[in-house]
């Protein structure tokens, strides 16, 4: 049924769509990053905390690879997170020579607050949209997720 609605609609060229979508996504990401500054962390630090939570037992080298930064740069980022009390380095039980990263209780709390603040910010703006626009946004989520999945390959 939904596909029938779009049968006669000509899809925009990928480059045209990218030109319109890119600034919207960048501004949205920037606005969401602003929601964390009062917590004393940067958007980049929150991103690292999310990855550490998502990839239980990840080491600094693997995190650097995942984030596409040098291991030396990642070491500095982790040092700052550790100094802030958000992460800790723990000896890997299966390989005592290796250290893995773990969130501290404070790191977990920061992520909880960040998620809550970002969700509240976004929900406030979504409430301003018409029901039809909210449906359109909801329908765009899956295709956008597929863009991210394809980019990971």
Q: Where are the domains of the chain?
A: 9-151
Range list of H helices, 41-102: 43-54, 60-67, 71-83
Q: How many CB atoms lie within 10 A of CB 121?
A: 14
pLDDT band at 5 (very low <50, low <70, confident <90, very high): low
Strands 99-103 and 87-91, by their bridges, are antiparallel
pLDDT band at 3 (very low <50, low <70, confident <90, very high): low
Element (H, E) at 90: strand 87-91
Determine the topology of domain 9-151 in CATH. Answer: Arc Repressor Mutant, subunit A (1.10.10)
For the segment 98-123, what is each residue's pLDDT rounded down to a tens digit?
789 999 999 999 999 999 999 999 99
For residue 153, the model assigns a pLDDT of: 46
Nearest to 144 by CA among 136, 30, 34, 45: 136
């Amino acid at each position: 049924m939904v596909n029938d609605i779009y049968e006669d609609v000509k899809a925009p060229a990928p480059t045209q769509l990218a030109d319109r979508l890119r600034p919207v996504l960048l501004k949205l990401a920037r606005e969401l990053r602003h929601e964390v500054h009062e917590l004393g962390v940067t958007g980049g630090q929150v991103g690292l905390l999310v990855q550490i939570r998502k990839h239980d037992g990840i080491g600094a080298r693997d995190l650097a690879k995942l984030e596409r930064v040098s291991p030396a740069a990642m070491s500095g980022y982790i040092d700052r997170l550790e100094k802030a009390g958000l992460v800790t380095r723990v000896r890997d039980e299966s390989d005592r020579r290796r250290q893995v990263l773990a969130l501290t209780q404070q790191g977990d709390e920061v992520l909880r607050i960040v998620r809550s603040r970002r969700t509240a910010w976004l929900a406030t703006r979504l409430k301003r949209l018409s029901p039809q626009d909210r449906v359109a946004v909801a329908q765009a989520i899956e295709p956008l997720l597929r863009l991210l999945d394809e980019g990971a390959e």
